[in-house]
Amino acid sequence: MIGFVAVVVKVYKCFPTLYIFTLPLLKILSNGINQLPFSLFVVQIMASSDHQAVTIEEESVQRKVQMKKTEADFQQMIEERQNKVEEIKNCVKLSAMSAEKELRESNHLFTSLISSAEERRDEVNAEIEEKQKKAERRAEELISELQQEIVELQRRNSELEDLGNTEDYLHLLQRFPSLTSPPPTREWMEIGVHPKLCVGTVRTALSKLDDTLKSELDSLKKDEMKRVQKYAVDVVLDPDTAHPNIILSADGKQAGRGELLYIVPDNPQRFDPVICVVSKKGFLSGRFYFQVAVGAKTFWDLGVVKESVNRKGMITSKPENGYWTVRMRNGDEYRALDSPSVLLSLKEKPQTVGVFTDYEEGTVSFFNVDSKSHIYTFTGCSFSERIFPFFSPGVYDEGKNAAPLVITAVNHKT
């Protein structure tokens, strides 16, 4: 393609007006600009049949219009950045207020827990001291009773010695029955004072403290769920990424496992052969939350993945490969696919699973929405690109796992 250059020419005698000429660059170069007299160069330009000429005034008007538009664009960019500065400053203020509130609540909580622990400690100490005093009183009573029996036995023993030395046989026979019969005493083999008096005392106190902790923890769980659910986003599944076995609902909120392969375009975004799908929208910053009803399914995977994950061939789900997911297998086996993977012991089988991601903090957390309990958190996540909510409805499992994963709306009233 022939390049063009613009040449500004002013010939005082021939042209009363300044002109801008555009002509092929190769022609000028081939003619040797530096070697031609200026007047001959102008004549050569005018003789060319493929040049265009506009007055410099006209060109200036066009340039000014362009400058005005560029100026307006720059001004808009300045305003956008100024607004972003104010937005960031406002976020910092809100963050400081939130941090101050968190500190107050944290101090109040731990002060309450410390106070409760101190109360339990004082109760335990008082109970131990009371039991010790009771043991001492009992020991004194037993010792006193034993000493009385010892005195009585010693008295009888002395009388028996005296009676054994007597020559008064009649007196011996008369006293013998009363002195040889045992005095009224206790059976002391089974009686005593146990040296370890506080069996279960500390455990009982800790159990009470544990009840307090559980109550506070339940309250924190509810607050945590409410906080993360404030970042709920509208997640719609992307049919262009769904494995051919996956059945999507018309609204893009459900992903089920079908028995047949559907005929769909084999585009680069589609997962195959792994049965999964991601959302249409990805996230490059901030926080977002979504929740999925898993119901009685026996297989499923949920979480987030980075945009550039391998979508063709077999997948190894782990953070190094861009996957931050939790899975369930065989109806009751839960595992966080971290590095290394972590077997999860859940007290309750979740019916709805919540997923909360904090891009800047590099965390992905999973919750049992029904019990408002924490399941697992990935930390130290290296997010450097757009990430997407990820879903796998699992294998068909002879129809036992045919129910779909259902993206549900957050009920902010509970």
Domain boundaries, the chain: 4-50, 91-228, 239-408
Q: Among residues 362, 353, 370, which one has the least CA distance to residue 405? A: 353
Question: For residues 237 and 254, what is the distance between their CA atoms, to the nearest angstrom?
Answer: 8
Question: For residues 397 and 331, what is the distance between their CA atoms, to the nearest angstrom?
Answer: 10
- Which pLDDT belongs to residue 75? 94
- Which pLDDT belongs to residue 196? 66
Question: Is the CATH number 3.40.50.880 carried by domain 239-408?
Answer: no
Question: For residues 312 and 323, what is the distance between their CA atoms, to the nearest angstrom?
Answer: 15
Token digits of residue 328: 């369930």
- Which pLDDT belongs to residue 51? 52
- Which pLDDT belongs to residue 82? 94
- Which pLDDT belongs to residue 6? 44
- Which pLDDT belongs to residue 197? 61
- Which pLDDT belongs to residue 414? 62
Predicted confidence pLDDT, tens digits, the chain (414 residues)? 444 444 444 444 444 444 444 444 444 444 444 444 444 444 444 444 455 667 888 888 888 899 999 999 999 999 999 998 998 899 888 888 878 888 888 888 788 888 888 888 888 888 888 888 888 888 888 888 888 888 888 887 787 777 777 777 677 777 777 777 777 777 777 777 777 666 677 777 778 778 878 777 778 878 889 999 999 999 999 999 999 999 999 999 999 988 778 889 999 999 999 999 999 999 999 999 999 999 999 999 999 999 999 999 888 999 999 999 999 999 999 999 999 999 999 989 999 999 999 999 999 999 999 999 999 999 999 999 999 999 999 998 888 899 999 999 998 776
